[in-house]
Structure 1
Amino acid sequence: MTIKISESLLGHLIEQERVLLEPSIRQSSSSLDKLLNPYFHEISANGMMFNKAHVMSRLPNEKVPQFYNQSFKGQMLSDDLAQLTYHAAYRHSAKAPLHYSIRMSIWKRAQNHWELIYHQGTPCPEFELLFEE
């Protein structure tokens, strides 16, 4: 049985996903440490698997890509686990082609905040970008 996610929690988790794309957050070890669960794992769109230590060593030095995310959907997997799915398009520079993917994140409630415990990007066909979200 699926537990409905509240609109306020969905909005908060969408904001958290977008916060993770901000250069000031990506370059801050303390901010990343707070947002990523100790058991965090990511499977990237190119099939690579990363843990929290790898992500925390890579992100501060990585140029933030131009990123668009939209069409968010959420559901509760349990009282303390929330799943987001969405479409994303990104490129490494303004002149580079866009890469399209479907993204899925699982957020876990910690003591007084939510932490990202799992993220995956899977390549998908091109979709129309919506700029009103």
Structure 2
Amino acid sequence: MNQETDGVGEAIAGELRLMDPEVRASRSLARQLLDPDFVEVGASGRRWTYDEILAAMPGMDGAAESGPRYEPSRFTGVLLAPGLVHLTYETTLDGDRVRRSSLWRKQGADATWRMYYHQATPVPPDGA
């Protein structure tokens, strides 16, 4: 494997972990995957900061073991620069499709991949 496929693979693994109800329900587990400078623009259009998303995630969709789960598909990724990966993919949750884009960066003393930015855009009912 090379740096690009390694980085993309690690970012996809991180995305999948963030969809796991155990991680979504645990502030300490989610913190390991989010960059301290994290920002999200959610499907609702709301802007979330690192602290806001960590506080809200346990009550959000996909956090309950017995509830609906995210069904991800169509992952694509590219290494934009050393330590910076851009991913795009789709999720379905309770019949609602969302197109997603995120930036993962690897920096700091621990040099682990963490989500730096995420944006979610609902797919219209006609699927266009």
Normalising to structure 2: TM-score of the pair? 0.81
Aligned partner letter, 1:51 = T
1:79 and 2:82 aligned: yes
Q: How many positions carry a matched residue from both structures? A: 119
C-alpha RMSD of the superposition: 2.2
1:45 and 2:43 aligned: yes
Runs of 4+ in structure 1 deviating by more than 6 angstroms, as ranges, are none
The residue correspondences of 1:1-133 to structure 2 (distance < 5 A) are 6-64=4-62, 65-91=68-94, 98-110=95-107, 111-125=110-124
- Identity across matched positions, percent: 29
Contact 2:14 2:114 in 1 (8 A): no
Structure 1 unaligned blocks of 5 or more: 92-97, 129-133
CA separation in 1, counterparts of 2:99 and 2:60?
22
CA separation in 2, counterparts of 1:17 and 1:45?
16
| Structure 1 pair 73–102 and aligned structure 2 pair: CA distance change class (3 A) | same
Normalising to structure 1: TM-score of the pair? 0.79
Contact 2:99 2:123 in 1 (8 A): yes
Report how far residue 7 of structure 1 moved.
2.6
CA separation in 2, counterparts of 1:30 and 1:70?
26
